[in-house]
Amino acid sequence: MTLTFAELQAANRALCEEIYYRLDEWSATDWACAMGGEAGEVLNQVNKLRRLCDGPDKPYNAGIVRSEVIRAIGRELADVVIYADLLASRLRLCLGDCVAETFNATSKAINSSKRISGPGDGETR
C-alpha cells in the first residue's frame, strides 16, 4: 500500500472534522502539543524496547514481546505523522511539500544528489 501526503491530508482532515473537531477549532499550539504528546509515547515505547534488549533482565528471548513493542512504536510514529499533518493543515501548509523542501535543502547543503520530487531545491522541475 502506498499512501501519499495528499491522501493523508484529505482523509485526516475529513475524519478529524467528522468525529472530533473542526480543524480551526484547535490552535496551532493545540495541534503541536498533541503531536508532542504522541512523540513522547514513541520515546516511551523505544525506551521499553531498549530495556527488553539491553536491560538487566534481558527478556529479549521473548521475541513476541519485542515484536509487540516494535508494532507499538509503529503505531505511535503514525500518530506523530497524523498530528503533524493536522498541524500543517491548520497552518495551511502541505506536509508533503514541507518534507520535500526540507529534505532537498538538506541534501543540497551536504552536497548529495538525492532529491525528492517536489519543491525545495530552488530548481524548476
Q: What is the pLDDT of residues 2-30, one digit of tens each?
A: 999 999 999 999 999 999 999 999 999 99
Q: Is the pLDDT of residue 122 over 50?
A: no
Whether the CB-CB separation of 119 and 108 falls below 8 Å is answered with no
Spans of all domains in the chain: 5-93
Write the pLDDT tens digit of every residue in 79-88. Answer: 999 999 999 9
User: Alpha carbon of 81 to those of 5, 12, 86, 92: distances in Å?
Assistant: 10, 11, 9, 16
Of 10, 9, 24, whose CA–CA distance to 96 is shortest? 9
Identify the sign of the CA torsion 50, 55, 61, 64. negative
pLDDT computed for residue 62 by the predictor: 57
Distance, in Å, from the CA atom of 98 to the CA atom of 63, rounded to the nearest integer, reads: 37
pLDDT computed for residue 58 by the predictor: 61
pLDDT computed for residue 123 by the predictor: 43
Write the pLDDT tens digit of every residue in 39-53. Answer: 999 999 999 888 887
